[in-house]
Amino acid sequence: MRKNRLMILAVLLLSMALLLTACGGSKATIVGKWTSPALQENAAAQLFEGMGVKIGNIEYEFTADGKMNTLMDGQPMMEALTKGLQENSDLPDEIKASLGAQADMDVTYKLEGEKLTVTTKYQGVETTAEGTAKLNGDKLSLTVEGQSAMELTRVK
């Protein structure tokens, strides 16, 4: 009888452990969308706003499969920039026509502990940057190759 109770208890504990693992448990992750006022204030954003492109809300999105996306008002950055520049009436038509032919940008990330590696591929050129990602609840501090830390907040 006692042996049966122990077996039932062991099965219940194992089941609970599997359920917690399947749900992700309480393991912290950077997967999701993150934002910061600093993203809207950077030089590139100001340059595009000066060209008549509405930047809107900028977010970084880290996906579970290792992709890192920059979103502008929910759209992929390159798509939003192309659309915004094509709508700019001050640009010559030949420049507007060439915007649709822009290559996509592919950004991936790898996180090992707090070590963050970001690889960007754009128009046949690949660059890699390393830094740190420190997660504290809904706050994420990113530092890449000696730059100042950027403090992000999880988008809910």
List the one residue out of 135, 124, 136, 131 whose CA is nearest residue 148: 131
Which pLDDT score, from 0 to 100, does residue 154 have? 95
The per-residue pLDDT for range 102-151, each reduced to its tens digit, is: 557 799 999 999 999 999 998 889 999 999 999 999 999 999 887 888 99
Cα–Cα distances (Å) from 42 to 24, 37, 92, 97, 115, in that order, read 34, 9, 26, 27, 24
The per-residue pLDDT for range 65-79, each reduced to its tens digit, is: 999 998 888 888 878
Tell the burial category of 18 from Cβ atoms under 10 Å away from its Cβ (0-12, 13-18, 19+): exposed
Domains of the chain: 29-154 (2.40.128)
Which pLDDT score, from 0 to 100, does residue 17 have? 29
- Strand, coil or helix: 138: coil
Q: Please state the pTM of the whole predicted model.
A: 0.70
Contact predicate 135/145, CB 8 Å? no
Tell me the average pLDDT of the chain.
76
- HSE-up (13 A, CA, CB side) for residue 86: 12
- Pairing relationship of beta strands 150-154 and 115-122 according to DSSP bridges: unpaired
